[in-house]
A and B are shown apart, each in its own frame.
Chain A
Amino acid sequence: DGGITQSPKYLFRKEGQNVTLSCEQNLNHDAMYWYRQDPGQGLRLIYYSQIVNDFQKGDIAEGYSVSREKKESFPLTVTSAQKNPTAFYLCASKRQGGADTQYFGPGTRLTVL
């Protein structure tokens, strides 16, 4: 089955710790995205990558870092510099170019205690 997987579904961390969220896709998509979803707000773009070894900051990149060493994988690290990390994080991918839809992973709910 083709799709996007995110792990874990729920994640708890102590304040001040870095944490890495996993996102893997087997759709052969070039573009991958990380979004953050908070209650009452639309999805906000953290980082996106259009090709391996390249990525761009989104609207709320501060306190986050990413890597794109493989086409299939786009992990997101939430660092201790992120002031309010508790949120629902969604990964998505799409074919590069063209008028195509995004495919979303199931999400990871991060709670920082």
Chain B
Amino acid sequence: KNEVEQSPQNLTAQEGEFITINCSYSVGISALHWLQQHPGGGIVSLFMLSSGKKKHGRLIATINIQEKHSSLHITASHPRDSAVYICAVRLNTGNQFYFGTGTSLTVIP
């Protein structure tokens, strides 16, 4: 059983489309992270959320603590957004994180 589930697994979009990636979790958490992994393998943190909504440029992340669900939205998608997006949750019992399997996004020009 996976503590963190992401959907969809793969996503192909045309440049300019609005994109939504979903994350559901089943454990008690203190924070949820959205990460981006580029083809070379390096991972960068996009957002850390414990409630509500955050926006950075064309990226928006929301979380609903009661429903144990988070979404990552990308507005006006661009080919450079092509990457794997990973949802991770930090347990409220300590310093450990659980990771989703990632959503592979390809944006076509």
Binding site for B on A (CB under 8 A): 31, 33, 35, 40-45, 48, 50, 58, 88, 90, 94, 96, 99-107, 109
Contacts and interface: CB of A to CB of B under 8 A. Distances in A.
A23 to B, nearest CB: 14
Contacts of A100: 48
29 contacts: A31-B95, A33-B97, A41-B101, A42-B2, A43-B86, A43-B88, A43-B99, A44-B99, A45-B96, A48-B96, A88-B41, A94-B95, A99-B31, A99-B48, A99-B90, A100-B48, A101-B33, A101-B45, A102-B33, A102-B45, A102-B97, A104-B43, A104-B44, A106-B40, A106-B41, A106-B42, A107-B41, A107-B42, A107-B43
B101 A48 contact: no
A58 B96 CA distance: 9
Interface string B92-103: 000111111110
B22 interface: no
Interface residues on B, range: 20 to 34
A88 B43 CA distance: 12
Interface in B1-24: 2, 4
The 8 tightest CB contacts between A and B, nearest first, are A42-B99, A104-B43, A43-B99, A107-B41, A101-B45, A42-B101, A106-B42, A101-B48
A74 B53 CA distance: 35
A42 B48 contact: no
A44 B4 CA distance: 12
Nearest to B102: A42
A40 B101 contact: yes
A31 B90 CA distance: 14
Given A43-B88, A50-B95, A104-B45, 15 more contacts: A40-B101, A42-B101, A43-B97, A43-B99, A45-B96, A48-B96, A58-B96, A90-B41, A99-B30, A102-B45, A104-B42, A105-B42, A106-B41, A106-B42, A107-B42
